[in-house]
Structure 1
């Protein structure tokens, strides 16, 4: 622990010195010199030796102030291939001045997670101070007894058994959502021109469904005002979250002084979010409603959990995960829309299970579920997993990794370049999962994390996707509009300004008779 504190002090001094120097000398040549000096120093401080020859681990050089943080998020797919090709199966990148070891080999992933029950998270997710003000106390980022207590409260809400109870409601909501999908049409038509055909942007048209379904898990008896206000707060969160992802001075508490507009927007969001939550709790308590929101707030009032943990966990579930769930659903729909043969096979499966739709939507041995797994495999979210810190020294991939060093998994390497997937690993073929035992997927498919810190909402999330895909392709013929792929690339167009690079793909949608 003392060593970690010394390391943090050293790095803080270095970053402060660099910031001062860069402000004084602004030329590109000076910046390159400062970067080279800082890279040499932090690489020495954060030394990760090879077991064989004692040499430091390879990786891109540190650059002030963000290192490779932005590339990791905004250019994840491209950098996955570039870094792996240049540095090998295990290498180090920088998130600010924090080293992150990247694993690309399933054997190394297994070595890391075969005893992973006590891995920890960083409250900044290595993104920085402003991020910690938004989500640093959420269940996905806290540790120890705090995490145990909060998970004990939340787990019953998101267990597999409980998720089966939600399916009927998910299906009913999905049917209504799909039926009115034309409200998101890019071009509105007059009633007498309506032939049942319209065009939507996949991400924009689908994102509100998982958003409101997750909200209903926490907030019972939502009023229209609450529905609208939640959406407004979500948009405000997205704006301030983009500031956190922008890095730079926002990595530091100096944001309050040196980037006042960003901090003022963040503080405004924090105040509005807390006020809305308090009002929502009060309305329910006055009405005698005891839902998960009220239960969480009362536990905070009794100091069983912290109030900030409640606020940040709700924001994590509703706002931060909106882009994640939107990506998961839209990628599943887009890949199906681009593959009419699989789409036809899926509708045939729908027909065979028409006698028990709810039971069908809860299964994980169907083509419907395989379509979800295949989209997660080909279009992983995110490109690199969120930071994990083993509490003990580990020898992985031939390197001696000090305790509490951040480790990431390259999802594209595991899900696509991995020899496990065979020569057609880049091809969309959902039925491949029909012949793969689930235990073989554990370290060969990166989806929603590993071990005890696996995504809390996975059991609920897959059933929401099942329900929406079932209703969408039951009610419509869906296809991809022309020119939706990048030139010279099989990848679909994406929104480069979004931290997950959500799809920017338009769909032709025609109501089925």
Structure 2
């Protein structure tokens, strides 16, 4: 009994000591960073509102991404429309107003992405030199090596392949329940974009390659979790520590590199038979000097595994929310079904419909992306020259992030029904013109650095939506049945939410 009490005392004392030590380190770091990196008004009298540094990660990555939705409102209410956060020891200025975003992004082609997204050395090992996080000549070379399969023209050739994937995926979910089944938004959609994109990049995978690829996922998930939590792994010297995070990183990188080499070897055989396979061209382009092998592997990682993190609401999150909004709005589902019946006349009309950016199906994706953007805050990037935003002078090299929730939902352009899911708004008045929402809407980014895979991602999401809605009536239910009471302010998908799918009778 005495030993138990003693242990409890030691644990409690250690916790109190650790908390106080972290508080001291946070206060000292805050004072130093504000003194070292001052941002003042034109007259020098006022300082840009800045969050205190929280040891050891500042406000990134957990606070900026995993808790980004709630922090968007919280920080905005406390610090105003322009303020600074810390990602590690790097300051990032948060933009919430279209006018400020236009001032910053008018020359976005000259911007420099933050090194490893200001997430530290562990992130650098994982994705630090992928296409989305590099700049300048390195970016141009790697883009040249990887962009061919993602152009709008190339995407048009994938329609049947993507539709086949969508049909197969839905069939796998309902094969034992032909009349009614329940879709679990995240769990049931997680693997669809991953495998569909893998087949586009590497050619149709053989069963052994597919199995090996799926076996890599748990290790990659664990590595990504270490990176998101930050701490000691932020620092370069941490790679010498005998910790699990380092061993898991080494294991993942070895298995990922070997799998890609195996997949490439298999793809070469397909190419010799006349089948164009993007990975073959990518490897050849790297061999010609357009980037490094490591940069290509990280970019392929970025393309594929980015789809597998529902907590960050990337492709799966966007797809899941589209289904939720459709299921929550019978009127919208009815209108979409009517449009689908008109569009599916023949193959050419079908393909044109799925690739269009001016129909109700596309407006559903735009509206879902508006209300539930893929991430709360954008990747940090730096302006090469000084900027003035309001009364504040931002030095050259200042890093900026866009608050997607402030822009997509809270901006007056979207009022007065800004929190409502209403796809029709994209065909009304000025909102239908791209230039009117250029700096009021964040989905794939701004300027020449927009997401490389935007056309392919949209096609994959549309294909699955179409294949489900054509065959099944969908509505929200609790896990054990009964209607789900939908609330427009629901931001995180509840664990017990299901989408009931009932076979349509024609």
Tell whether the structures are fold-level matches, with TM greater than 0.5: yes
Shift of 1:27: 4.1
1:244-270 Cα deviation digits (max 9, x unpaired)? 101100111233244611110111000
Tell me if the contact between 1:149 and 1:305 (Cα under 8 Å) persists in the aligned partners. Answer: yes
Does the 8 Å CA contact 2:181/2:500 hold for their aligned counterparts? yes
Residue deviations 1:267-317, cap 9 Å, x none?
100011111112222233356366221222233334332111110010000
Deviation at 1:24, TM superposition (A): 13
Output the CA distance in 2 between the equivalents of 1:30 and 1:178.
Answer: 53
Where 2:132 maps in the other structure, the secondary structure is coil
Match of 2:26 in 1: 35
Conserved? CA contact 2:190–2:307, under 8 Å: no
Determine the C-alpha separation between the residues in 1 that align with 2:226 and 2:422. 38
Of 175, 189, 209, 1:226 maps to 209
User: Which one of the candidate residues 85, 89, 94 is aligned to 1:93?
Assistant: 85
Question: Is 1:404 aligned to 2:397, yes or no?
Answer: yes
Match of 2:101 in 1: 109
Q: Distance in 2 between matches of 1:286 and 1:176?
A: 26
- State the Cα deviation string for residues 468-507 of structure 1 (Å, max 9, x = none): 1111101111111138989988315448xxxxxxx87421
Structure 1 residues 461, 195: closer, same or farther in 2, change over 3 A? closer
Is 1:442 aligned to 2:428, yes or no? Answer: no
In structure 2, the residue matched to 1:468 is 464
Q: Deviations over 1:46-82 (max 9, x none)?
A: 1111224442211220121101111111111110001
The answer to whether the 8 Å contact 1:72/1:383 transfers is yes
User: Residue 303 of structure 1: which of 278, 289, 292 is its match?
Assistant: 289
Task: Report SS of the residue matched to 1:180.
Answer: helix
Name the CA shift for 1:509/1:24 in 2 (closer, same or farther; >3 Å). Answer: closer
Larger CA deviation: 420-429 vs 459-468: 459-468
Judging changes above 3 Å, is the alpha-carbon distance between structure 1 residues 304 and 430 closer, same or farther for their aligned structure 2 residues? closer
**Which whole-Å CA distance do the structure 1 matches of 2:130 and 2:235 have between them?**
19
Q: CA 1:285–1:352 in structure 2 vs 1: closer, same or farther (change >3 Å)?
A: closer
Higher mean displacement: 409-418 or 226-235: 226-235
Is structure 2 residue 232 aligned with structure 1 residue 249?
Answer: yes
Partner of 2:42, secondary structure, is coil
1:347 maps to 337
Establish whether residue 129 from structure 1 lines up as the match of residue 121 from structure 2. Answer: yes
Kindly state the Cα deviation for residue 115 of structure 1 after the two structures are TM-superposed. 1.6
Q: Are the aligned partners of 1:476 and 1:510 in contact in 2 as well (CA < 8 Å)? A: yes
Deviations 1:21-59 (A, max 9, x none): xx9994433432332122011111111112244422112
Change (3 A) 1:444 1:387: same
Q: Which of residues 359, 369, 389 in structure 2 aligns to 1:366?
A: 359
> Which residue is equivalent to 2:304?
318
Contact 2:328–2:486, Cα closer than 8 Å, also in 1:
no
Would the aligned equivalents of 1:284 and 1:294 in 2 still touch at CA under 8 Å?
yes
Q: Secondary structure at the match of 1:145?
A: helix
Deviates more, 1:486-495 or 1:128-137: 486-495
1:27–1:137 distance in 2 versus 1, CA, 3 Å: closer
Q: CA deviation at 1:117?
A: 0.9
Question: Equivalent residue for 1:15?
Answer: none
Q: 2:3 matched to which residue of 1?
A: none
Q: Tell me: CA distance 1:338–1:136, structure 2 relative to 1, closer, same or farther (3 Å).
A: same
Partner Cα separation in structure 1 for residue 208 and residue 397 of structure 2:
45
CA deviations over 1:440-495 (Å, ceiling 9, x no partner): 12111110111111111011111111111111101111111138989988315448
CA contact (8 A) 2:419 2:489 kept: no
Residues 469 and 24 (structure 1 numbering): CA distance in 2 closer, same or farther, change over 3 Å? closer
Q: Secondary structure at the match of 2:91?
A: strand
Q: Which runs of 5+ in 1 are unaligned?
A: 1-22, 184-188, 496-502
The DSSP-based 3-state class of the residue aligned with 1:481 is strand
Cα distance in 2 between the residues matched to 1:36 and 1:486: 44
User: Are the counterparts in 2 of residues 249 and 259 from structure 1 also a CA contact under 8 Å?
Assistant: no
> Which of 449, 452, 469 does residue 453 from structure 1 map onto?
449
2:255 equivalent to 1:263: no
User: Distance between the aligned counterparts of 2:391 and 2:298, measured in 1?
Assistant: 38
Which stretch shifts more, 200-209 or 289-298? 289-298
2:280 maps to 294
The structure-2 alpha-carbon separation of the partners of 1:304 and 1:32, relative to structure 1 and needing over 3 Å to count, comes to closer
1:45/1:286 CA distance change after superposition, 3 Å: same
Q: Name 2:47's counterpart in structure 1.
A: 56
| Matched-pair contact (CA < 8 Å) for 2:478–2:496 | no
Q: Distance in 1 between matches of 2:307 and 2:28?
A: 38
Match of 1:500 in 2: none
1:431 and 2:431 aligned: no
**Quick check: 1:273 aligned with 2:266?**
no
**Structure 2 Cα separation of the partners of residues 152 and 120 of structure 1:** 18
User: Contact (CA 8 Å) 2:119, 2:234: kept in 1 or not?
Assistant: yes
1:210 counterpart = 2:193: yes
Q: Contact 1:249/1:258 (CA < 8 Å) preserved in 2?
A: no
1:9-30: per-residue Cα shift (whole Å, max 9, x none)? Answer: xxxxxxxxxxxxxx99944334
Q: 1:422 maps to which residue?
A: 415
Q: Deviations over 1:82-106 (max 9, x none)?
A: 1001111100011111111001101
Could you list the per-position Cα deviations for residues 225-244 of structure 1 after superposition, in whole angstroms to 9, with x for gaps in the alignment?
A: 11222222233212111111
